[in-house]
Copies of this chain bind each other. A is one copy, B any other.
Amino acid sequence: MREAFDAELARFRDQLAALAKGTKDAMTRATTALLDNSLAEAAGVVGDDDELVGLHHRIDQQALVLLARQQPVAGDLRTIMAGLRMSADLKRMATLARHIAELVTRRHPRPVVPSEVRQSVVAMGAVAVRLAGAAQDAVTTENVDAATALERADDVMDDLLTSLYRTLVVDHRWDAETAIDLTLLGRYYERFADHAVSVAKRVAFAAGTRRPEAAPSS
């Protein structure tokens, strides 16, 4: 019985790791779609997102099965609960990547990112992909130390966002549509980073070193 449970728990973890990988790939492609103004890449992100949502649903189902089948001991219970929340975070991250891709599609052929703020957006994309990779590592290796490193990278993202908004305010050449797009774009990247940090914190919770709740609050 315990052996079957362990096998199912291992499968649960594998699915989470696959979702984390898919989420990182989605952000990588979405940022490429944005910077290359590529409809094909954008469409790829949207298509992949449907699969990630499906995977997220299967993880949720698996968690319910695990909880229902056998009284999980304390450590297993934490793993399952943390996994459920990570699954929600990762799905949300995939949705945010999809929002970036959809912005590209909506404005095409006009690029979303004017050349004047391209470097800010390149930096935000790089931090987002790095954070997604760190979240994936945390999920895969169950490495607790990742949380601290991720929080630092999240601060970098906040600074980049502040700088992007300041550029918009100081430099008066922008029309409202560009300002709206860049505000939303910045917000998508910022939220993505928050959720990545949250994933790492939940790994720490599962290991017993954090409070249960670590949902992004900003």
Contact = CB atoms under 8 A, between A and B. Distances in A.
Contact of A176 (B64, B95, B179, B218): B179
A212 to B, nearest CB: 5
A108 to B, nearest CB: 17
Interface residues of A, number: 40
Given A92-B215, A212-B57, A179 B172 contact: no
Interface in A174-218: 174-177, 179-180, 183-184, 187, 211-213, 215, 217-218
A183 B57 CA distance: 31
A15 to B, nearest CB: 14
> From DSSP, what is the main secondary structure of chain A's interface residues?
helix
A60 B88 CA distance: 15
A39 interface: no
A78 B65 CA distance: 11
A217 B169 contact: no
Contacts of A92: 215
B174 A176 contact: yes
Interface stretch (A1-9, A20-28, A66-74): A66-74
A106 to B, nearest CB: 12
Given A67-B77, A88-B215, 6 more contacts: A61-B212, A68-B74, A71-B71, A95-B218, A179-B183, A187-B187
